[in-house]
Structure 1
């Protein structure tokens, strides 16, 4: 599923996608900006250089930017459908408009989706065909919504999530707030600290849109130097992609050789067999063993053959728990 960029008109939604994609976003449909944004992992780049691979393939994350007024408080049927099909909502808050109170703004939007979810919940509870499990989880949801808690802040068990998956609640979706500030606001450390305090219970990013556009075409070293002036460590692109991985409990593993260096995403705690299935179902079906080495060890040694000779490659069975940064070669037979 894609990540959805929402917010009011002229809030900076399209600029956000432009920055994430380094200007590569394009119009796929007549009125919707879409882009697959590559997570440019420096570890994979090092492996690509080590093997002089013919191609390099990063993990891509899909983003959609809805045009015009796309606030949660102004849902249209089409907008509602887009939300249901999305993974994470990136809500652009135009704080560069100095008359905007960020706490009120976010609270008002959250209250709108809680009210809509409460309407759905109460309508469903009137259905006499509900079984006991369905009624129980709906009553739990109703109680929390009445206390102004969105579903993404409620602890729900796997079986409860499965029950409500087809009921189209909006507040179950995670919301990442993107706070669009001016360069002048960014330089005001007291102002930025106040914003952080107001949003301390939410996932948010400070987004100096003008600055991010300016550094988009600079080299990595130039970007670091430029950002340091404003006491920033990473461009928002890196922050966003890393946070998506962290939120979804994902790791990266790699395959590398002369033909290709590629990154693969995997749920933390997954096995070598599951990693094999991520690459191809046939590889999982015919799994024999996994040959594993840390990415930095392989880069330091320089090639697979020497790594085997030095005893750095570990032989692992299908139940091996893959670690972030592993380079894996799967032996299989079908």
Structure 2
């Protein structure tokens, strides 16, 4: 499973953002092998409307979304690479993640000492990671005041602007209430949804789907360019070892036909070998020797 480490200097709002993420945590993490849930870890679904479309069209009710494991990494302070604060613990955790989410303070608060200086915060974070010899794909998220969300200015090109406080409040509302509130603010997606999608895109991932013999629809994230035999191993190692072929259809065609059987009868399923490059939106049934 994709692991994202959330880092930020003290008072950046990291705990507020993480608490909002925890409200979106997938209830049944047993679907995700090798996942250990700890107080500083949250497993969050990747939003994907295609799952619901496949489920509704085929009548397969059970849905298992792709997921990201967010880890709240404590200990980032100036001098962390020299062991300051929780420096050693911080460096140990940061080496285990696939990518880093840098949360930068962009909000004003009388409870937080010092001037607001996002660029200085970015420099401090980058210096600590560089000193420690850590190179990971990274994204920058600016934690801004709610009133500043419509202002497109950010301290770094490509940075995302959200309000962790607003996200925390939204996480306590129903889906319909969230949509209504966001509409009032003139925002289409929650900040968390944009963060999750950005994480996905940062690592150059696409999604393929399986329907597991008509029992459940599941989304699987893979790197662009992944071959079908390797993708089969994500579903089960036995599928990769005994790989015979992949039966493939684009999700839109499956939705149009309403079932795998109808699509097969019309010759819409194509058969691929181990060197087939998986495409975003493929629905795949792997054939293998047990």
Q: TM-score range by the shorter chain?
A: 0.7 to 0.9
RMSD of the alignment, in Å? 2.6
Query: What is the rounded CA distance, in whole Å, between the counterparts of 1:296 and 1:321 in structure 2?
Result: 18
Of residues 256, 259, 273, the one that matches 1:303 is 259
Aligned to 1:223: 178
Spell out the pairing of 1:238-249 with structure 2 (5 A cutoff): 238-249=193-204
Aligned to 2:269: 313
Of residues 104, 107, 113, the one that matches 1:96 is 107
Which protein has the bigger helix share? 1
- Is residue 50–residue 303 contact of structure 1 (8 Å, CA) maintained in 2? yes
- Is residue 66–residue 220 contact of structure 2 (8 Å, CA) maintained in 1? yes
State the aligned residue count.
270
Instruction: Rate the CA distance shift 1:40–1:23 in 2: closer, same or farther, 3 A.
Output: closer
Query: What is the rounded CA distance, in whole Å, between the counterparts of 1:332 and 1:224 in structure 2?
Result: 44
Aligned to 1:57: 64
Query: What is the rounded CA distance, in whole Å, between the counterparts of 1:305 and 1:35 in structure 2?
Result: 38
Aligned to 1:176: 139
- Is residue 24–residue 45 contact of structure 2 (8 Å, CA) maintained in 1? no
- Is residue 4–residue 89 contact of structure 1 (8 Å, CA) maintained in 2? yes
Aligned to 1:121: none
Give the TM-score normalised by the residue count of structure 2: 0.82
Aligned to 2:224: 268
- Is residue 53–residue 259 contact of structure 1 (8 Å, CA) maintained in 2? yes
In structure 2, stretches of 5+ residues that fail to align are: 28-35, 82-86, 110-114
Offset, 1:224: 4.0
Query: What is the rounded CA distance, in whole Å, between the counterparts of 1:231 and 1:71 in structure 2?
Result: 36
> Alpha-carbon deviations, 1:129-163, whole Å to 9, x = none?
xxxxxxxxxxxxxxxxxxxxxxxxxxxxxxxxxxx
Instruction: Rate the CA distance shift 1:113–1:321 in 2: closer, same or farther, 3 A.
Output: closer
Offset, 1:221: 5.3
Give the TM-score normalised by the residue count of structure 1: 0.72
Q: Secondary structure at the match of 2:194?
A: helix
* Residue 199 of structure 1 pairs with residue 119 of structure 2: no
